[in-house]
Structure 1
């Protein structure tokens, strides 16, 4: 039976919506938390490491007269989607709510206390979480451990101590304003966490400021850079592993170990697919960057056209003013004309500088893009030649194996003939020994 919260909910401004995001690795209990606190039966809860949250899902309910919206987010170790796709979803949702002036009241980051150690997926989620939030929003973050009923209390406290004291885990976040918390699996303890965030002033996330206010491309944001660095690291790691496997496969071919050769060939195929997946994801991230560049260039072109149009309208209006001024005084007209000429020259110079800067930037980006494509093409060609060489080597080894098998078969047949002859000789000797001794003496001249 669920316990009641120990504290009363804080007073909230009438009509205000409390928005709280749930983040953490797949299986940390985000969907379970939302279902337990909200009482909404439509919240789907998984029972394993398979993700049941494919996209961002907000769930709203009324608590003590206040609208609470809990937002379920997929983890960056999602079983069905790439980290880039998950980041795009989070960016799209947070940007839209920011434009609607609906700020997050807080974030509850969940972590299983049953985990003996912080695995790579958990560390990756933590890095992404840091880059999404930024330092200012950490004051509205609850770093929350879950599943306390599944662990010995002393063991759980030891793991919690490790989380909050090690600099590679939660210590830097706690030092900058985040709060340590526990969720015991019941509605009462969950509402205690909600109470803490209801009283806090909503904060703007770094990703919202970078995307909406600063108009940054996704790859240029802190979160985009974090994913790109992770993809580069994995790409290098997988490439080295694939290279090692190829070397082992070559050695297996030379040693004629068929079983090892087959196993390594399958391993090589898996590693090639894994590397291709990472390369495709990074290409997708870069492609998004190129799309944003083109979009920004188009916006710049439109602004330039509007600026030229405004300049023409300004010039026409100025001409009319000059006509009126010339009627009053020739001297004033001459002075005004000089001022206007200088003004137009400055406008033209400024426009020329903007156009020149735009063309230079566009040329630089185009050259960089061509260089990236050429490097990719060279790498692909090198990989293709390497695969052809390996295939050719395998074919030669198979041919040699066939010849050796033929020689071995011939040797078996010759050996069988010799064994047959030896058997016939033994049979003849046996027959002779079975005959009477006198007959054998006569036969052998005794």
Structure 2
């Protein structure tokens, strides 16, 4: 525990979260109606566990959503292997990530929804799970939850930490608040140099730079039978992909398709939205632009007339990376900051991306410098870059090989992070004494 009084900002935040608690049921009902909460597990959001705590040592890892939770899967596996009898609790805040964790967490690991950041919910959560080590992934700071864990003497670690220039700027308006939060972490490991520098500026005493856990994540899974079925449906067609797209980027992909189709009859563009729930709206937008759209979520078949295949389902991105050699990485034509380029690179895909890349501020330039990525600015330049690669199989293959070389190397980030966490984790005999 830090053993020092929190700043006034924390007391104000704590008071405000208590004051709005009567609105929590309404908030949860609205989120449930929009498909953003699991009605069977709403109690978890109030700190009420849906399963008993297992006996023995337990490490708790928290990631906000899909990207963070997937990035820690190798770390979870190695933690369980390194400490026999250990259990792992993974918390996230989204329905999508909960479904993926249910499918992919190994034996010895369980998932729960993270409680809303209310003092009582957080205390209830910590009292039940009594973690021996708490690990935050990337950048989601929940002050009440961090304080509750610290108050119970739980060692805290912040790993694969990422903080953007915008977030750092916002935190500078509450310097004592963020400095206090950071001081509660016994270990802080940043995923890149820029994040490390910003964390130090915000008050972190020591920040290690072990590398990015997302670099070491395994290749996405592929259903081979479904892949064979899709290949049969698309045989002889030229295919490219726009993946992890956000609002506006689907329209750009559609415009690019229209520009490319004249030179490439039979072209098929696969659009994989970041949020599959937007599928119906995206399909309507593209159809209104005069494009023939087939939606995967509704079971539509790809026919010779299909121009856009809207892959609005969950957990199948690897399937589509297996179908094409050219991939546009979404979240780069708006202010999102880009999504994980390593996933497509592991499949040997040539990469296209817009200018917004602050979520992977070192990775995107590295792919570009290695000749694995072309940058675009809008629908017209996206079409031009895709046309360039469609016209040159040799360049496309060269770019894909360069991307795969970068993505296939083990950066060592997972192993270095594992060693640091094991050093924080109390030995089993110490745990027995502390929890007696």
Normalising by structure 1, we get a TM-score of: 0.26
Greater share of residues in helix: 1
Larger Rg over CA atoms: 1
Greater share of residues in strand: 2
